[in-house]
Structure 1
């Protein structure tokens, strides 16, 4: 199994001090986190895209290019690129450039996005939310296959013998579709033969099994080889020496995280400790606990989904960089080796 970490670059206040770090400091810390992940031997590092003042990363390709300069082997991906409002040509050329800079380490996870601020920002109608994504993902795949592209669609200007430059070092960029819980999105990933990246942020993982089954069914019906299909699972993660310590330390950050995310969506709600305890219980998808418990949860999900990649989000809720780095060290040293060993059997 490939294992890595990702960040959305959120700029939340530290719940203990009330202080929020600057965008420039957050970006420097993200670059350093990518270097630490590479040094620790992780396989993948991802950066999300948001167009808000309370997030630091509106352009994953630029930040990943900076990380490419201080890393050697780790794969670099968006988590995710909001393809409904991105020009597929611009997205492909940005990540093909990243692939050249990183010597063949670029990937794209494309999604429809959990926020909608990019629609008015780039002049798109929210009522075209799904149709935009469908058109753009198909064009992105064609750009990935062909150097000279002729194409006609509804939402952007047509292409006639357009040269798409640069070409990536890889024969094709790996493209995944990020899915939060929509059956139609899982089926689309299968139908188009992309990877499936599941964002499982809570609840019972069993609820996501039908999405994986639907992905494989749609792919096989569309004529794609089972061997070419890939599933990734992502999840919020916090690790400490023992589970009680992990829950005690993480609750203020996690409650804080959902407080400002819900506020961004127009809701004034906070997570109670009892709700958090339920979310962090052994049978749920929230990865909070000792290295042993985190390992067990990853392996339980692997038995359920048979996925090839796990990506943890470890830096949410206004945590200090030193705390995130400490969690990464535990993850890399005490979780990853066991997961790799057990999943390679």
Structure 2
């Protein structure tokens, strides 16, 4: 009797162990298998959330098949206390394992509302936009000029929400004065920006900020990035470069930046100025004249006068020899690289060609023909 009972108990135990192992295997497969989502969703994790609350919301949203399996998987992956607040784009079919990695890894949010402050050469814009999970594209909700236009209600609403992201997008070719004035107009920032940074010392790039970030801190980050770019570009300089110091490279890069908005032209434009410097020719570039007039404080907004082209300023390369004493804008990385790695050409002239680019020439005769064509285009547009 006892032997039979023991045999039955052993059988039950073995069956139970197999069942338990089967449940564990099923749970593990369920945790890593493709999830039930048919379309992407933007899942928000508010500050102060718990994994238990998050698992229930994911189950309600149809992102996970079992909140219990999700919680067990989180526990056994040692990520129960690693939850990060933010907004996360959960793609179709995302596994529980993938979702856990998203909401515990941290870093920038991947969806939701973003407020972008675009500091451009001619204007500053604040954009309120939201990522559409279905298309993975941003939809613009509002656009205005900070400090000038009336502030839209949606901006104030989204600015107050905890999961809204803020970003400053600095365009290539802006001046340091323009950057400082733009930062002053951004009400998401705090503090005095301090003394205007030297021209050319700020890196055109994208900068994530948080409400209350100090303006001087933002400028310091912009300077740190530019310092690294200058060092890297100088380290990779070509023997064909006409400039002899990183400071000269920065000045030439700023002129290249202001002369062309066509990325493919930077190396060719750089070759023109390199050839002129090596031959002892004056650079004769309009953007330097403009900087001598404005000192980088705003946009000229009109054509140059003959008196300004002839006027003596430290930056007027029609009357001075070589490079001006300072940069005339904040150049991007590609212009820095072009300044010390110019294309190999014999060009010493260029003029606009009516397409947004330039026509280049080796001789004055050829250049004069290009100028005549450009004047015909100008006359036809008036």
Whether the TM-score (by the shorter chain) exceeds 0.5 is no
TM range (shorter): under 0.3
TM-score (norm 1): 0.24
TM-score (norm 2): 0.22
Which of structures 1 and 2 has the larger relative contact order (alpha carbons within 8 angstroms, sep 6+)?
1
